């Protein structure tokens, strides 16, 4: 019983620690999403497969990167291309039924209008002029939103800005993407089930088996 209690306490402390660390990162980095895996290839400039395993030393983002996102004031965002900020936004919505999604793209220019900052953006790997080549205006992202002041003239509003990418960790994002996948969730469920069996079911089965053996032996003795 003491052993099981210790294991439960350790698991509880671990879970609280993970949740606490997540909220601590949100506060420290002033970001709703301080850590994100890269799951799309729009920022990848490498020829062939967009995978950090295949292109570990290129300067842009790849599928499987884990990125650190820090909150930033829209007025402080650098648009000095090609060294401008890589930004994370909530994706604009075309109608009320759209679910929340995130997009990663690079700032090209910004403009203030009625107290709101709007960004002209372009994904590094899209268009004929991939980063660091200077894109033309027709290669930039064209954003639209059914809500007022969330986009303007194809630009995206600071109302949707989450933060800027300050660091990337190669490869580690693959682990997060796997955990978020269908098979990853099944694996987590199986591991949890195995832990429950080891902590609760298996010891009980051993005690019952030992008790049954003792009764049999006692029966033979009498």
The answer to whether 188 and 176 are in contact (CB under 8 A) is no
Candidates 52, 29, 30, 28; CA nearest to 41 is: 52
The alpha carbons of the chain give a radius of gyration, in whole angstroms, of 26
Torsion of CA 42, 48, 53, 54, to 10 degrees: -140
Token pair for residue 189? 């469920």
DSSP run (H or E) holding 87: strand 86-90
The confidence score (pLDDT) of residue 12 equals 77
153 conformational bin, left if phi > 0, alpha if psi -120 to 50, beta if neither: left
Candidates 101, 103, 92, 100; CA nearest to 147 is: 92
Per-residue pLDDT tens listing for the chain (222 residues): 566 676 667 767 777 877 787 788 888 899 999 999 988 888 888 766 676 555 555 668 888 888 999 999 999 999 999 999 999 999 999 998 998 899 999 999 999 999 999 999 999 988 889 898 999 888 999 999 999 999 999 999 999 999 999 988 888 887 887 777 677 667 777 777 776 676 666 666 555 555 655 555 555 555
The confidence score (pLDDT) of residue 205 equals 58
Candidates 156, 138, 154; CA nearest to 88 is: 156
> What three-state secondary structure class fits 196?
helix
The answer to whether the bond into 134 is cis (omega within 30° of 0) is no
Question: How many angstroms separate the CA atoms of 183 and 191, rounded?
Answer: 12
Whole-model pTM? Answer: 0.77
The confidence score (pLDDT) of residue 173 equals 80
- Residues 40, 56, 29, 124, CA torsion sign: negative
DSSP run (H or E) holding 219: helix 202-221
The confidence score (pLDDT) of residue 113 equals 94
Candidates 70, 64, 82; CA nearest to 122 is: 82
């Amino acid at each position: 019983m003491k052993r099981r209690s210790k294991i439960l306490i350790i698991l509880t402390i671990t879970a609280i620690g993970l949740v606490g660390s997540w909220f601590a990162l949100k506060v420290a980095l002033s970001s709703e999403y301080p850590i994100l895996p890269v799951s799309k290839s729009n920022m990848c400039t490498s020829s062939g497969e967009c995978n950090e395993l295949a292109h570990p030393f290129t300067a842009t983002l790849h599928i499987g990167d884990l990125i650190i996102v820090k909150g930033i004031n829209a007025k402080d965002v650098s648009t000095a291309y090609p060294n401008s900020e890589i930004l994370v936004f909530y994706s604009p919505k075309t109608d009320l039924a759209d679910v929340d999604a995130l997009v990663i793209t690079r700032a090209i220019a910004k403009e203030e209008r009625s107290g709101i900052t709007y960004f002209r953006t372009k994904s590094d790997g899209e268009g004929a002029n991939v980063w660091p080549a200077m894109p033309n205006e027709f290669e930039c992202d064209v954003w639209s939103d059914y809500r007022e002041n969330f986009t303007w003239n194809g630009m995206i509003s600071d109302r949707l800005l989450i933060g800027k990418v300050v660091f990337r960790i190669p490869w580690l994002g693959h682990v997060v993407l796997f955990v978020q996948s269908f098979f990853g969730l099944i694996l987590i469920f199986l591991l949890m089930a195995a832990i429950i069996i080891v902590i609760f079911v298996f010891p009980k089965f051993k005690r019952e088996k030992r008790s049954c053996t003792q009764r049999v032996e006692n029966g033979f003795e009498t």
